[in-house]
Amino acid sequence: TRQLSPKRIEVIQKIPKPTTRKELLTFLGMINYCRQWIPECSHYDSILREAVRSDSPENVCWSPNMLASYIALKVAIVQALALGLPVYCKPFHLYASDNGKTMAAVCAQEHGGSMCPIAFFSKVVPAPVQGMPCNGC
């Protein structure tokens, strides 16, 4: 299995709430490294990335939604599952979801009679695609 090291988890947990764009970008960079262990990472990540756009003020003004996303990411790091190693001769299962703004998926395989996650994926849906009808979904 692959899992986040206790040291990495500890470092992320000890990061104080960022007060500047640069500090928030540093935090998001650390989260990005761990994203394959975080279900729906893009959902939370995208909310925080709004505060680091070039037209945003240098000092971060925390909204309740941003604070909830920040806390959710820190909790997700602590609760991160160990990911199974892929066995290429076994079938893979892909489970996906979409909330209109972000897409998320987990790739899993059966190990020992139960499904084991191999990796989590998530992505922000591009603005032109958001709201488009999904035929047959």
Q: What is the pLDDT along the chain (137 residues), one digit of tens a residue?
A: 899 999 999 999 999 999 999 999 999 999 999 999 999 999 999 999 988 988 888 999 999 999 999 999 999 999 998 999 999 999 999 999 988 888 999 999 999 899 999 999 999 888 777 777 665 55
Intra-chain end-to-end CA distance of the chain, in Å: 34
Query: Phi, psi at residue 26, to the nearest 5°?
Result: -60, -45
1: β partners: none
Please give the pLDDT value at position 60. 93
Distance between CA 77 and CA 39 in Å, rounded? 10
Fold for the domain defined by 6-78: Alpha-Beta Plaits (3.30.70)
How many other C-beta atoms can be found within 10 angstroms of the C-beta atom of residue 52? 17
Please give the pLDDT value at position 137. 55
Assess contact for 109 and 118: CB atoms under 8 A.
yes
pTM: 0.83
Distance between CA 106 and CA 97 in Å, rounded? 9
Please give the pLDDT value at position 95. 94
Find, among 114, 118, 111, the residue nearest to 83 by Cα. Answer: 118
The burial of 60, by beta-carbon neighbours within 10 Å (0-12 exposed, 13-18 middle, 19 or more buried), is given as buried
CA distances from 70 to 27, 34, 46, 133, 134 (A): 9, 14, 11, 31, 31
Please give the pLDDT value at position 134. 63
Helix (H, G, I), strand (E, B) or coil at 111: strand
